[in-house]
Amino acid sequence: MKKTGIAIAIMGLGFGLMSGGVSAADMVVKLGHVGPLTGSISHLGKDNENGALLAIEEYNAKGVTIGGKKIKFEIMGEDDQADPRAGTTVAQRLVDAEVVGVVGHLNSGTTIPASRIYHQAGIPMISPSATNPKLTQQNYAGVFRTIANDVQQGGAIGKFATGALGAKNIAIIDDRTAYGQGLADEVEKSAKATGGKIVAREFTNDKATDFMAILTKIKAQNPDVIFFGGMDAQGGPMLRQLKQLGINAKFITGDGACSGEMLKLAGDALSGNAYCTQAGLPLDKMPGGKDFKERYKKRFNLDVQIYAPYAYDAAAAMIEAMKVADSTVPAKYLPALKAINFQGVTGNVAFDAKGDIKEGAITVYQYKDGGWNPVP
């Protein structure tokens, strides 16, 4: 009780200082974080928030001085329930609370509409996990992400199919959603560019359960590799039906079906022929991964889920940019954020002209021993 009282007092003081522009010893600077903290993927949302929290706590402990003032960073955490409407509501709340930057949101579907609100308010945002290319194609100056996007993912899948898997003939299926179709188009481009031939391009939808007709058609084309752009709810039954039709081609799918749920839904149809990809690196492969894992565990007594290191780097990028610009004012540190280049937990953090991470990594997983294992 007493602690909260003090915190509120400090926050109040911080506000007073910011609005009054009076310099003093300690200044509170608030960063927003948004992710789903309720609902089916709330564990991922909390993981992201913890990642960002760990970053600011470490900077606070080290001590950051900007514009001659010692800065104390705070996280204002909001819940968007993975719902686009709730996403824009909490985005507005963060804008009203005058945060200087936002780490989030988690899903592409919530991040894209929310990004407009941050853009209009002139507040930079960095998503640690939204992979849809559209996010950065809006040409909003203050929108970044620390994770590879679906263009990079699709490119990697195409190259993996023609390269490591040695595929000549490739069949592509997508579920006609923005995500599935976008990813499938990138796979097609990249596979063609690396010498693959697209022998079939078939479509289904994100509510379908029967793929026998399109798979039968694909079978007649005798592909080496079948790619599916879509979610696990379709990917699982599709894999079962491949087996029922006696199709032995290798099967690759994107991050939407690269889940534990996919393992359940596909059941005994899974074999070493099944591959999937995830944006980003497994924690152990990240340059700062091992160390991060321990720090995270020590602080929260939890294991890292997926994106916490990306949220950590997103928060760190903002603070590093503020240090370079020697200002916490969004308009002043934004140019520094665009040009930021530092070694983060996940690798080198630097953004291209659109705001995408420059060296976005993609990891390919193969089904083995009951789970997805990174292909070495």
Partner 1 sequence: METLLQQIVNGLVVGSVYALVALGYTMVYGILGLINFAHGEVVMIGALTALQTLLILMGVAPDMAPLLKLAIAVLVAMPVCMILGFLMERLAYRRLRNAPRLAPLITAIGMSFLLQTLAMIIWGRNYHTFPQLISTTPMQPIPGVFVTPVQVAIVIVSALVMAGLILLVTKTRLGRAMRATAENHRVASLMGVDTNAIIGLTFIIGAGLAAVAGVMFASNYGIAHYAMGFMPGLKAFTAAVLGGIGNLGGAMLGGIVLGLVEAVGAGYIETMTFGFLNSSYQDIFAFVILGIVLIFRPTGLLGERVSDRA
The residues binding partner 1 (CB under 8 A) are 40, 176, 201-205, 207-210, 212-214, 216-217, 219-220, 232-233, 236-237, 240-241, 243-246, 261, 264-265, 267
Compute the least distance from the CB of residue 256 to partner 1, in Å.
Answer: 13
What would the two tokens of residue 58 be?
Answer: 């470490």
- Rounded to whole angstroms, the Cα distance separating 308 from 89 reads 24
Alpha carbon 349 to its chain centroid, in Å, reads: 14
Compute the least distance from the CB of residue 260 to partner 1, in Å.
Answer: 11
Helix (H, G, I), strand (E, B) or coil at 185: helix
Measured from the CB atom, is 125 or 215 closer to partner 1?
215
How much is the CA Rg of the chain, to the nearest whole Å?
22
Measured from the CB atom, is 168 or 217 closer to partner 1?
217
Measured from the CB atom, is 82 or 311 closer to partner 1?
82
Of 257, 282, 305, 300, residue with least CA distance to 106: 305
Asked if 282 and 309 count as a contact pair (C-beta separation under 8 A), the reply is: no
Alpha carbon 228 to its chain centroid, in Å, reads: 20
Measured from the CB atom, is 138 or 205 closer to partner 1?
205
Measured from the CB atom, is 4 or 40 closer to partner 1?
40
Compute the least distance from the CB of residue 303 to partner 1, in Å.
Answer: 22
Measured from the CB atom, is 93 or 176 closer to partner 1?
176
Q: Residue 207 contacts by C-beta under 8 Å, 6 or more apart in sequence?
A: none
Compute the least distance from the CB of residue 194 to partner 1, in Å.
Answer: 24
Measured from the CB atom, is 65 or 248 closer to partner 1?
248
- Rounded to whole angstroms, the Cα distance separating 216 from 228 reads 15
Q: Residue 310 contacts by C-beta under 8 Å, 6 or more apart in sequence?
A: 48, 51, 128, 129, 146, 147, 280, 346
- Rounded to whole angstroms, the Cα distance separating 310 from 344 reads 9
Compute the least distance from the CB of residue 161 to partner 1, in Å.
Answer: 21
Compute the least distance from the CB of residue 237 to partner 1, in Å.
Answer: 5
Compute the least distance from the CB of residue 201 to partner 1, in Å.
Answer: 7
Edge-first strand listing for the sheet containing 69-79 = 64-66, 69-79, 26-35, 101-103, 125-127, 143-145
